[in-house]
Structure 1
Amino acid sequence: MNIKLISVLVITGLSSFSADAINDKYRQQLERSGCTQVSELQGCDLNKTQAENAKAGFVSDAPLHDAKVENTPYHAMGKITCAMGDTKLGAAQCDFGVIRGKSGHAEVHITPPGGFERILSFTGDKVTAADSTVTATKNGDEWLIKVNDYEQYQIPEAVIYGG
């Protein structure tokens, strides 16, 4: 009888402990940097962005687990901050879908209010759009993009790299 009681108490006590292997802050650093626990040990810098670590060779092709949104060609979909014309950036939200390629390569398909589709191609630190003039700057983890001096988009790096 005592053995059963002790066994139940031990099992109950052990099951009440958290089994998280890493804390939330560390997990967020891994996601932001593009590092894994293994690549960090090899020199991947948790304080750098995914793009910086990709340039250093620590972030490789789009991960195999980067599954597509069901019934779409996109790896992710959502909304980004946008504006048209003289409207201040942030006045609207645009729908987007992203198709990721190797590290730092992505096509972001954006549908601003009004229904047309804009495709921005990211290749490393370069952003292009077919038959358009694109000005792109990066502020921290955000791309600020202007197309034809009319369309404005704010795209987080997480859209391009995942995370």
Structure 2
Amino acid sequence: MDRMVFINLPVSDLKKSTDFYKGLGFTQNPDFSSPDASYMTISGTIAVMLLTEEYFGKFLRNGTPHLGSDAKEILVALSAESNEEVDRFLANAQSGGGTAYRPTEEEMPGMYGGAMADPDGHVWEIMYMSPEALQGAAGENTAATDTGAGI
């Protein structure tokens, strides 16, 4: 079975956040949602759990949520299937109440992406890597490992 990833995020307004993520194309699973949480499906193996700040706090043993803080502890990155999907995702984020965090750019040949912050300031990157760029990166990693220069 494939390992699943659950991203847990505290939110200040559950309905607003749920609507925002629906606008990005994620779907809500009502079986695992409640007045304190929205289970949003990103793919068959990735979900984001939007949790009210109080409910999120119940999962913490030490510390508090960083809502309203400029501190960033995580950047969530998603893959895209094209440059156009990157642009659509970021446009949907901005029209749904998110803000541009990092403008789109081609960071290197065949690698195009940008980032947005959701209404609570959680940063999501989205990136398209062309098949040629992926093959080139894989070849470079193999060469580095073969020479002992890799990890």
Q: TM-score range by the shorter chain?
A: under 0.3
Question: Which has the greater radius of gyration?
Answer: 1
The answer to which structure, 1 or 2, has the higher relative contact order (CA under 8 A, 6+ apart) is 2
TM-score (norm 1): 0.22
TM-score computed with the length of structure 2 as normaliser = 0.23
